[in-house]
Chain A
């Protein structure tokens, strides 16, 4: 029995700030199919890469054939569909977060794990990315650890959270 995942079922958690940002972008472009590339740029900026469920969601909302979306993503070297690490640490470097010390967060992670933004640890456990505003300025400085938004993060907080991610990983 072959399972067909209909595009109609494609959905994303609507309370995720990255989804909100994506929705705003698509609305701003008038849901025009020819704005696909701009919308993909936007999605990759906030996710760090283009997960398949995001592509499904974009295809559904823009009413584009899945193969057209996939073809576009695979054509341009800029777009990546690979996750950048098993645990992703996305530090927001938008204006508000920057003022509230996003750079200190990035520096601390580099000091502790030897990671610069855009890199993944050698064991592939943690990937560090920076994104322009993730739309959570009230929570500055904000970090998205895996799929959870962390509000008002201090450098020490971030390191302990990342360390506990690694520990739960080892136990699991």
Chain B
């Protein structure tokens, strides 16, 4: 028997199961919380810091995707402070790699681009890093373009948790972080990749794409991962 708790999100009183996260409860009640690294069905890691919310009684911000609800929790998702941080986080995504929408396969179907519109991004106040990034075209079906990666790790988790192949992981740390295949070997030479394409579906940007796609024609289905995990839970 799961325990029920009462929480308040942006003043709205909600009864929810205590095993749920703030993000789950908010989404079920049509309260919007911005996310990038969250993909329903995959383990939440709190990597992108977009889903930060205020909890009454604490000066800290909490990531909604990894914080479980508790009785009488009072959550604020849309204060001026939170909107400011969302904007900063978004600007930093764009400043960290070479995101050039005009030449991107995902132009018009990109979660990062959508995020930019949502937070009203009109300029980036931080100096761009303009890193030299690899584009790995060695795989027969797919391309990995580090220029467009935001290090959300959705591809890594989709590969490890859904497909069970664990081709991807991160190397290095900080701004030098890169998604790698096997021993930082070419994707086409991977010994673990099953070429299932789940990472491509999970990727929110144009970092992973199918070779059959041309500029601006990306059509990704991250919900494919969610559906797959839901069906698995049903033990058909």
Contact = CB atoms under 8 A, between A and B. Distances in A.
Interface of A: 2-7, 52, 55-56, 65-71, 74-75
Contacts of B172: 74-75
Interface in B79-126: none
B183 A52 contact: yes
Given A67-B168, A67-B192, 9 more contacts: A2-B189, A4-B189, A5-B191, A7-B191, A65-B182, A67-B183, A74-B173, A74-B184, A75-B171
Contacts of B173: 74-75
Given A2-B188, A3-B189, A4-B189, A65 B167 contact: yes
Interface residues of B, number: 21
Contacts of B180: 67, 70-71
Query: Interface SS of chain A: helix, strand, loop or mixed?
Result: helix
B169 interface: yes
Given A52-B183, A68-B166, A74 B171 contact: yes
B218 interface: no
Interface in B174-225: 180-185, 188-192
Nearest to A66: B182
8 contacts: A2-B189, A5-B189, A56-B183, A65-B166, A66-B185, A67-B183, A70-B182, A74-B173
Contacts of A4: 189-191
A70 B169 contact: yes
B98 to A, nearest CB: 22
B133 interface: no
